Structure 1
Amino acid sequence: MDQQDQIRQDQAQLEAVVAEALEIAKGLGASLAEVSISKQTGLSVNARGCELESIEFNKDGALGIAVYRDGCKGSSSTTDLSPAAIRAAVEAAIEIARHTSADACAGLADPELLAWDAPDLQLCHPTLLDPQQGIELAIECERLALCSDSRIKHSDGAGFSSHLGIKVYGNSHGFLKGYAASRNSLSCMLIGEQDGDMQRDYGYSSSRDLAGLWSPARIADEAVSRTVARLGARKIATRHAPVLFHPDTAAGLWGHLVMAISGGNLYRKSSFLQERLGQQILPDWLTIQEFPHLPGGLASSPFDGEGVRTRDLDIIRDGHLMSWLLTSYSARKLGLTTTGHAGGIHNWQVSNTGQDLPALLREMGTGLLVTELMGQGVNIVNGDYSRGAAGFWVENGEIAYPVEEITIAGNLNEMFRQIVAVGTDQDERSSLKTGSVLVESMKLAGH
């Protein structure tokens, strides 16, 4: 039996388990029920000092069930997939439902919203991987990095992982579907030293298909160049200045937008973008779109965690907020319809203004290029933003020297309005594709 046949057989077995749990729930009097199950197999390798440090094989599976009786919800889970354990989990969920309060917004997604015709998105690229191959990739990546520059004194290790997962979801509307997905990664973390200053940085690659990973040499080169570029970092004086968020950190900036327009924060009235749907919150040239059905996409999915079909969406159009991110529950709390976001977002694409990174640096002139952010100083309720940062000071459009121990501060409402440009330098390894983001002015707290 080849791998694809084995995957199909495993998925069929998981679908049978879900169907069994739903039938038990129906027999025990649940008016509505939903069951999800996942199974993951794979290995993780860690190397240090160009020797194998650890290797871990995993084969995990878990079933979760939620039942609804007269608006009362009960849920339970089990990692034991034997018939007796499944029945016990269903019975536990039924018992919990007897002791919870009714909630009119609780329940399954509406049947007409489910992904009855879920597409195959080519997310599964299995490979017969010899563990030794993974070990050799990690060691080779670390070895190349350590011998390429005299300023690289130590390694914090290299790692390789390859996993294949199967997800199945079913509910009492008769919906029962699943899909398999693979993911591989290779990374290396280095420590550089120069004149007593030590800095740390990394390189990595991630891909559905093992053949799509960067070579160990390319990852090593990235890790080395990023690490040595940070050596000799200085502090800067407190001031106001333009800030250019490198794609590594720009994705986090858009992550705050995700939180602010997510249903849970909205119905709790804890978002700085409350009541802003349809209004302009970003420059009128900026658009953000979501594409859940990209073949092989790192965040592609035929349906969300409730079985709701995913679809292309304009999140931001011409600077205007066009969509919330809702689950069935949060949508009902708001009197709206789910957008298929139970479980998160899917392949965001941020538009750009046409400049590459050097052009953005020239446009900024003098200011801060942020390549790393630290801390959690973001208040989604009022938009206040304050985080530790490191990166590079830019003068006359050229990188002058690395900087560290800076705090950058502002308010997300103002930061979004003050976005001057978005670059073309997006990182293809990210599921949230954005170039560098230039903000007109922020407060920089240094020494």
Structure 2
Amino acid sequence: MQNQAEINRVKQIVQQLLDEAKQQGASGAEAAFSVDNGLSVTARLGEVETVEYHCDQGIGVTVYFGQKKGAASTNDISAESLKETVKAACSIARYASDDEYAGLPDQECLATAFPDLDLFHPWAIDAEQAIKLAIECEQAARSYHTAINNSEGATVDTHQSLRVFGNSLGFLQGRQSSRHSLSCAVLAGSGDSMQRDYWYSVARNAADLESATRVGEKAAQRTVARLDARSLSTRNCPVLLAPEMASGLIGALIGAISGGSLYRKASFLLDSLNTQVLPDFVRIHEQPFLKGALGSANYDAEGVATQARDIVSEGILKSYVLSSYSARKLGMQTTGNASGVHNLTVEAGGDNADDLLKRLGTGLLVTELMGQGVNRVTGDYSRGASGFWVENGIIQYPVQEITIAGNLKTMLRNIVAIGNDVDLRSNIRVGSILLEQMSIAGE
């Protein structure tokens, strides 16, 4: 349950900042106050490795003098500090250059409805209980198979936050949220082969986490499956991206249609609005009002209302991803994405993971990607990869030390299928993605 008294207390502080900015001559201002606290426990080889408590708070204020902008921050909430923080922001603004696109969002874009999105579920777990859970998770992994011979440990995290944002247009709202996770990483050996892998579970509500035993066993299962990995000879073949890897491909798409990339002309999808960028069976949409989801929000970092909307429909790019500033630079209107996308959902097809392996036939299943070889300007894509070689829809053996390469524009257009094995552990909700063909560089 939300602590309304605490939210109201923080709202008063934010309002103080806005009032102070006005008194110091600012024509407009916005301010944010965040309070974060939590517990993180790691156990390794059956022993406690770390126990960390954290409690942080911070205030940021941005002021405008016409088209001049200044910002400052502090973690001291005394009246004197608040005044000095605003003074610092005003001083910066007075010396800044005019920027015709700077300023608060348009009044009519601000959120006015605030339904409960069920984002706050504190976890009543103490350090002793968290230690026990971490040890249980790691033990499940270490006892899964005799090849498991070392561990990087298991970690239990619980985190809750309070955020209040306000501006001089009269917007002043607060929200509390929680995020909990359980993770484990282990190592396995077979002859000269050593492999490492991991698994994790994350949720707003601890009751929705996978069990400690399940997380540990999944980490071990993934690690053992990678033993005795081989390289491949250089070739072209179909590629199936596991859901965790598929989200990166969609993330590259979103980066290319985000305002900053577009107005800097640093995107391979410049001038692509209302053109075909994906196959016609692909729909990508935002769902900001899903209850309890990791990316749900009623408003973005500027107080602008979020909206359920299609970004891609029937493969056609229908909208960019814009803040107020980037929208003005492009002569458009904000899309409520100043803090990124909200539960970006790639509509799943009817195939499960096994179905997609059959459709892959003979090709590469990618379960891990390494390196940053993605050029957002040209779309050129080249990353280290590991995974499994598949023949006739059946996994044959693990592979490593290869590179997959292509061009994002072509890769996106050549998506063959999207699976229903959707990974809900991030803000991008997508299943496995089958690509028609990529270049594989190996031996």
TM-score relative to the length of structure 1? 0.98
Letter of the structure 2 residue corresponding to residue 286 of structure 1? V
Q: In the alignment, which residue of structure 1 is the partner of 2:16?
A: 20
- Cα root mean square deviation, aligned: 0.9
Q: Distance in 2 between matches of 1:428 and 1:297?
A: 8
Contact 1:24–1:90 under 8 Å retained in 2: yes
* Counterpart selection for 1:102 from 78, 98, 103: 98
Please report how far the alpha carbon of residue 383 of structure 1 lies from its aligned counterpart in structure 2 after TM superposition.
0.5
Alignment partner of 1:39 is 2:40? no
Alignment partner of 1:192 is 2:188? yes
Q: Distance in 1 between matches of 2:27 and 2:114?
A: 25
SS in 1 for 2:166: strand
Q: Residues 44-123 of structure 1: matches in 2 within 5 Å?
A: 44-123=40-119
Please report how far the alpha carbon of residue 364 of structure 1 lies from its aligned counterpart in structure 2 after TM superposition.
1.3
* Counterpart selection for 2:355 from 344, 355, 359: 359
The sequence identity of aligned pairs, in percent, is 51
Q: In the alignment, which residue of structure 1 is the partner of 2:385?
A: 389
Q: Distance in 2 between matches of 1:414 and 1:213?
A: 37
Please report how far the alpha carbon of residue 11 of structure 1 lies from its aligned counterpart in structure 2 after TM superposition.
1.4
Contact 2:348–2:422 under 8 Å retained in 1: no
String of CA shifts for 1:370-389, please: whole Å, max 9, x gaps: 00000001111110000000
Q: Distance in 1 between matches of 2:9 and 2:287?
A: 30
String of CA shifts for 1:179-221, please: whole Å, max 9, x gaps: 0000100000010111121100011111111111111111011
Q: In the alignment, which residue of structure 2 is the partner of 1:407?
A: 403
Q: Residues 44-443 of structure 1: matches in 2 within 5 Å?
A: 44-443=40-439
Letter of the structure 2 residue corresponding to residue 186 of structure 1? L
Q: Distance in 1 between matches of 2:252 and 2:414?
A: 16
Letter of the structure 2 residue corresponding to residue 433 of structure 1? R
Q: Distance in 1 between matches of 2:256 and 2:264?
A: 11
SS in 1 for 2:198: strand
Contact 1:35–1:65 under 8 Å retained in 2: yes
Contact 1:30–1:67 under 8 Å retained in 2: yes
Letter of the structure 2 residue corresponding to residue 334 of structure 1? L
Letter of the structure 1 residue corresponding to residue 257 of structure 2? I
Contact 1:264–1:330 under 8 Å retained in 2: yes
Q: Distance in 2 between matches of 1:72 and 1:427?
A: 43
Please report how far the alpha carbon of residue 143 of structure 1 lies from its aligned counterpart in structure 2 after TM superposition.
1.2
Letter of the structure 2 residue corresponding to residue 174 of structure 1? G
Contact 2:229–2:397 under 8 Å retained in 1: yes
Please report how far the alpha carbon of residue 302 of structure 1 lies from its aligned counterpart in structure 2 after TM superposition.
1.0
TM-score relative to the length of structure 2? 0.99
SS in 2 for 1:68: strand
SS in 1 for 2:356: helix
Q: Distance in 2 between matches of 1:406 and 1:43?
A: 39
Q: Distance in 2 between matches of 1:307 and 1:118?
A: 11
Please report how far the alpha carbon of residue 37 of structure 1 lies from its aligned counterpart in structure 2 after TM superposition.
1.2
Letter of the structure 1 residue corresponding to residue 312 of structure 2? I
Contact 2:190–2:228 under 8 Å retained in 1: yes
Contact 1:422–1:438 under 8 Å retained in 2: yes
Q: Distance in 1 between matches of 2:418 and 2:258?
A: 23
Q: In the alignment, which residue of structure 2 is the partner of 1:444?
A: 440
Q: In the alignment, which residue of structure 1 is the partner of 2:4?
A: 8
Q: Distance in 2 between matches of 1:319 and 1:127?
A: 41
String of CA shifts for 1:241-299, please: whole Å, max 9, x gaps: 11110101000010101100000000011111000001110000110111001011101
Higher mean C-alpha deviation, range 357-366 or range 368-377:
357-366
Letter of the structure 1 residue corresponding to residue 20 of structure 2? I
SS in 2 for 1:137: helix
Contact 1:423–1:437 under 8 Å retained in 2: yes
Q: Distance in 2 between matches of 1:112 and 1:28?
A: 26
Letter of the structure 1 residue corresponding to residue 17 of structure 2? A
Q: Distance in 2 between matches of 1:361 and 1:236?
A: 18
Q: Distance in 1 between matches of 2:384 and 2:235?
A: 15
Contact 2:142–2:151 under 8 Å retained in 1: yes
Contact 1:292–1:312 under 8 Å retained in 2: yes
Please report how far the alpha carbon of residue 357 of structure 1 lies from its aligned counterpart in structure 2 after TM superposition.
1.3
SS in 2 for 1:98: helix
- 5+ residue gaps, structure 1, are none
Contact 2:141–2:218 under 8 Å retained in 1: no
String of CA shifts for 1:411-440, please: whole Å, max 9, x gaps: 011101111111111123333211111111
Please report how far the alpha carbon of residue 157 of structure 1 lies from its aligned counterpart in structure 2 after TM superposition.
0.9
Q: Runs of 4+ in structure 1 displaced over 6 angstroms?
A: none
- 5+ residue gaps, structure 2, are none
SS in 1 for 2:95: coil
SS in 1 for 2:221: helix
Contact 2:380–2:406 under 8 Å retained in 1: yes
Contact 1:118–1:309 under 8 Å retained in 2: no
Q: Distance in 2 between matches of 1:157 and 1:331?
A: 45
Please report how far the alpha carbon of residue 390 of structure 1 lies from its aligned counterpart in structure 2 after TM superposition.
0.3
